[in-house]
């Protein structure tokens, strides 16, 4: 916790940055820190966070069930009201240059900031050995202790997990395979099956990359149906980070299934709570 707090403090100490929140999970061994502000402030905050992460996280000793390539694994810039995707791409490029300059961590650009088609999708960048080409920024593939950072620009995604009433990770993996886009499932759904030691449960962990085009209730019912067919059921859901109001308004029942969801998880609400 002290390591994560140190990173969050490095970010929140940046003038012009509003820290919306941060959370961590012992099984994933992964933390999400969300902050907002004008572009230049957010760029500086992101770089400060990566520098602190590179100083305090030793990736070779890191263990966790979630895929990752670096201490500061993914740094996405997301345009909000008054900004555009072009602004977010430019912010990603500026941050990438500064991350290499100040932390010595190589950078791979993804999403709308990708400079090669093979790096458009995050999971393609994360594969072992990357894609065999040099990083976009830096002259080494990975930093010896901090790995690499994948920096990009994208629209809002929903990070949403469902725990199952079983410890059989094979069931979660089978469900994930059935629902994700890459296996012929729901468009804009990425999913993996994980085992959570602290909960003694299997989990279907999802990234929903375009909530406007996903039938969220249908997705839930498909997961529940498959779980029942495989001899178990869905325990509950959890939201990681924040969700835009438009996503919540699209399907409130879907978010009500997350035991940790409340109004403060809506990013516009959280900003109003903090910025007066």
CATH number assigned to the domain comprising residue 264: 3.30.70.670
d(CA 174, CA 57): 33
Same domain, 135 and 194: no
Q: Same structural domain for residues 67 and 29?
A: yes
Whether residues 116 and 247 fall in one domain: no
Residues of the chain with pLDDT > 70, as a percent, come to 100
Shared-domain flag, residues 127 and 218: no
Helix (H) or strand (E) run with residue 25 in it: strand 18-25
Going by pLDDT thresholds of 50, 70 and 90, the confidence category of residue 160 is very high
Average pLDDT over residues 48-63: 95
**CA-to-CA distance for 219 and 232, rounded, in angstroms?**
17
Q: What range defines the domain where residue 249 resides?
A: 158-274
Query: Is there a single domain that holds both residue 148 and residue 163?
Result: no
Specify the pLDDT at position 41: 98
Mean pLDDT of 202-222: 97
pLDDT band at 130 (very low <50, low <70, confident <90, very high): confident
Helix, strand or coil for residue 268?
helix
The reported pLDDT for the residue numbered 152 is 98
Pick from 153, 181, 201: which residue ends a domain? 153
Torsion of CA 255, 164, 178, 265, to 10 degrees: 20
Say whether pLDDT at 222 is over 90.
yes
Cross-strand bridge partners of residue 271 = none
Q: Do 130 and 244 fall within a single domain?
A: no
How far is CA 251 from its chain centroid?
Answer: 21
Q: Which two tokens stand for residue 132?
A: 């065999």
Segment 131-147 mean pLDDT:
94
Confidence grade of residue 68 (pLDDT, cut at 50, 70, 90): very high
Neighbours of 9 (CB within 10 A): 13
Whether 6 and 92 map to the same domain: the answer is yes
Please state the rounded mean pLDDT for residues 239-247. Answer: 96
Model confidence at 127, in pLDDT bands (50, 70, 90)?
A: confident
Average pLDDT taken over every residue of the chain: 96
Residues 20 and 100 in one domain: yes
User: Active site residue: 22, 28, 62, 66, which one?
Assistant: 66
Do 145 and 179 have their domain in common? no
Active-site residue, 66 included: yes
Domains in the chain, number: 2
Which tokens sit at 44?
A: 């500086």
Whether residue 8 is found in the same domain as residue 122 = yes
Q: Name the DSSP class of 113.
A: T
pLDDT higher than threshold 70 for residue 29 = yes
Domain final residue pick, 153, 169, 186 = 153
pLDDT at 216 over 80: yes
pTM comes to: 0.94
Q: How many CB atoms lie within 10 A of CB 16?
A: 13
Question: Do residues 53 and 149 make contact, with C-beta atoms less than 8 angstroms apart?
Answer: no
The predicted pLDDT at position 129 comes to 78
pLDDT tops 80 at residue 276:
no
Instruction: List the single range of 91-95, 123-127, 139-143 with lowest mean pLDDT.
Output: 123-127
Assess whether 18 and 135 both reside in one domain.
Answer: yes
CATH at residue 139: 3.30.990.10
Residue spans of alpha helices (H) in the chain = 2-12, 39-56, 85-103, 122-126, 169-179, 216-229, 245-250, 252-256, 267-274
Q: Rounded to 10 degrees, what is the CA torsion of 105, 110, 115, 116?
A: 110
């Amino acid at each position: 916790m002290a390591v994560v707090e140190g990173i969050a403090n490095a970010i929140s100490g940046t003038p012009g940055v509003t820290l919306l929140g941060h959370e961590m999970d012992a099984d994933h061994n992964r933390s999400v820190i969300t902050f907002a502000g004008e572009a230049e402030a957010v760029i500086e905050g992101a770089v400060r966070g990566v520098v602190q992460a590179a100083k305090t996280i030793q990736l070779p000793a890191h263990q966790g069930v979630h895929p990752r390539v670096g201490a500061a694994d993914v740094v996405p810039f997301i345009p909000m009201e008054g900004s555009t995707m072009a602004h977010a791409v430019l912010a990603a490029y500026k941050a990438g240059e500064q991350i290499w300059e100040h932390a010595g961590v190589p950078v791979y650009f993804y999403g709308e900031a990708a400079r090669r088609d093979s790096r458009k999708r995050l999971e393609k960048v994360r594969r072992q050995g990357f894609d065999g080409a040099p990083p976009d920024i830096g002259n080494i593939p990975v930093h010896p202790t901090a790995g690499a950072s994948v920096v990009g620009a994208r629209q809002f995604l929903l990070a949403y997990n469902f725990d199952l009433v079983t410890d059989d990770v094979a069931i979660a993996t089978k469900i994930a395979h059935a629902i994700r886009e890459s296996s012929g499932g729901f468009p804009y759904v990425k999913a993996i099956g994980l085992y959570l030691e602290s909960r003694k449960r299997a989990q279907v962990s999802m990234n929903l990359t375009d909530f406007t085009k996903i039938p969220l209730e249908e997705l839930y019912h498909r997961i529940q149906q498959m779980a029942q067919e495989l001899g178990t059921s869905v325990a509950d859901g959890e939201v990681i980070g924040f969700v835009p109001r438009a996503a919540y308004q699209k399907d409130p029942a879907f978010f009500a299934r997350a035991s940790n969801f409340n109004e403060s998880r809506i990013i516009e609400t959280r900003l109003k709570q903090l910025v007066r």
